[in-house]
Amino acid sequence: MKYLGTAFAAFALLWFPASAEAHTYMEESTPEDGETVEEDLNEVHVIFDSPIQDYNIADLYDEEGEPVLGDVIHEPVDEVVFSTDDPLPNGDYTFEFEIISEDGHIIEDTIAFAVDQEEDAAAVQEEQETSEEETASEEEGNTDEADTAGAAEEEGNGNTLVLAGTVILLVLVAGALFFLIRRKK
């Protein structure tokens, strides 16, 4: 029975060190959560307190819940940047992200902010976006299927690591128990 306790202690030491490590947290964002931006804005920056492995989700949504087209950059390793070609028009926005921290944990959060530019600049920007939206909607129809497949694949990466770690640890514990039982006989 004392070997069973030893085996359990070994399992706990092997499995739980990852949970003892500090998780990654958002250190700062530009714009900040709840901020109203009164100037041109075409980038959302999120900086974390430690390096991140990757991101699963980094999306910007307008006040109707429609996705805003843009590019995501994960460079440097502790930052995620969402950028658009043109400044965002007036309105409320939500930036959602889900990252894989350096220790393998998935961290997700949302940043809500508003853009409130002078009316002249906003009107010119809205006219430009209307023509771009027509072009983008035609292009978007071609890329939606590829984006969905890529998102599904990225979601599975974090779960695969946890599953693989669990299987390896179970095999190690089973081997240790087998060895201890054979040794006892």
Percent with pLDDT over 90 in the chain: 36
The conformational region for residue 91 under phi > 0 = left, psi -120 to 50 = alpha, else beta, is: left
pLDDT at 151 over 80: no
Question: What pLDDT is attached to residue 94?
Answer: 97
More confidently predicted of 27 and 23: 27
Question: What's the whole-number average pLDDT of the chain?
Answer: 77
Q: How far apart are CA 150 and CA 23, in angstroms?
A: 26
- Structure confidence at residue 86 as a pLDDT band (50, 70, 90): very high
More confidently predicted of 3 and 118: 118
Q: How far apart are CA 29 and CA 113, in angstroms?
A: 11
Q: What angle do CA 181, 9, 159 make, to 5 degrees?
A: 105
β-strand pairing of 36-37 with 106-115: parallel
Question: What pLDDT is attached to residue 20?
Answer: 43
More confidently predicted of 143 and 113: 113
The most confident of the ranges 13-22, 114-123, 159-168 is 114-123
The most confident of the ranges 89-103, 126-140, 158-172 is 89-103
Asked if 125 and 39 count as a contact pair (C-beta separation under 8 A), the reply is: no
What is the rounded average pLDDT of the residues 102-129?
A: 79
Task: Show the beta-strand stretches assigned E in 1-77.
Answer: 26-30, 36-37, 43-48, 52-61, 71-73
Question: What pLDDT is attached to residue 135?
Answer: 64
For 43, the enclosing helix (H) or strand (E) is strand 43-48
